[in-house]
Amino acid sequence: MNGLRIYVISQPKDPGAFYSRRENGPFYRWTLDESNWSAARVSSSNFSAKNLSATSWKLVPKALQKSIVEHYQD
């Protein structure tokens, strides 16, 4: 997927949360609710990308990979 980046918080306050961003688009926060991954758009007014670290796609759980791909399909 072109321009897709996956992040985690450098010093995790919320373990298990992932963040995604495609090219210059908005950030989304991904969390696991029971057995489903859900995304919420992150408000730039109370969010700093300075706390994020890029992570490998291989470290993203398979179910989350599927949800992210479906989310970003054109």
Encode pLDDT of 23-47 as tens digits: 989 999 999 988 899 999 998 888 8
pTM: 0.87
Between CA 65 and CA 69 the distance in angstroms is: 6
pLDDT of 1 above 70: no
Strands, DSSP E only, in the chain?
4-9, 18-22, 27-33, 36-41, 52-54
Q: Which helix (H) or strand (E) holds 53?
A: strand 52-54
Compute the mean pLDDT over every residue in the chain, rounded to the nearest whole number.
Answer: 89
Token duo for residue 52: 């994020």
Q: What percent of the chain has pLDDT over 70?
A: 91
What are the pLDDT digits (tens) for 6-16?
Answer: 999 877 666 67
